[in-house]
Copies of this chain bind each other. A is one copy, B any other.
């Protein structure tokens, strides 16, 4: 099996190394990751300037671009052959609920899927992440399973793993995305010259975190697995919209 591995925390992130080490036992792994922390990069592309690639001491490709750039560049130019799967992570910190809209880790998996490859995103949920090995083992379990049972072409799996020893995991739960409180998280501050600046602050707590959500699973010690759409079309609002458009199309 050939795997393209990427992340959004950068090529030096501990989660990337841990996942590389475990995946290398079951696959040929090519690692292509941003040269800087690109958390919050979502599916962004580098369009206004060219991208440069360097090799690190570990043999990873370090890219002056986004996670999406990395996957695109990796599959088409840096791998000797096309991958069988695209894996992103291990992210340091949760990618739960609406985090998935902003996450570069989830975006890397989405890009893999959009390019035609099965793809998973793996995140470790904790404040001071320690148990990368747990998340790496879970990732290996699921990836092995996907080799046997390929998934629908329009999905990626978003995997969140509690930051506990592997043997302390309660199991795996299939979940839907919950969501966080949409409170204002912006912090108004001043720079050292007294000019106003705004910081995007820490994420608010979860709001929709009831049973069935990814938040709920992880809080209760389970690995959360959520299937994520790569096609954003909201098919189930077609009827409603059909009626609506009649009222304005004249």
Shortest CB-to-CB span from A173 to chain B, Å, is: 8
* Chain B residue with Cβ nearest A54: B12
Q: Which residues of B contact A145 (CB under 8 A)?
A: 244, 247-248
Establish whether residues A248 and B144, one from each chain, have CB atoms under 8 Å apart when the complex forms: yes
Establish whether residues B47 and A200, one from each chain, have CB atoms under 8 Å apart when the complex forms: yes
Shortest CB-to-CB span from A241 to chain B, Å, is: 5
- Stretch from A23-31, A66-74, A83-91, A160-168 forming part of the interface with B: A66-74
Chain A residues with a Cβ under 8 A of chain B: 12, 35-37, 39-54, 56-57, 64, 66, 68-69, 72-73, 76-77, 98, 100-102, 104, 107, 110, 114-116, 141-142, 144-146, 148-149, 151-152, 154-155, 157, 171-172, 174, 176-177, 179, 182, 184-189, 191-193, 195-202, 225-235, 237-238, 240-245, 247-249
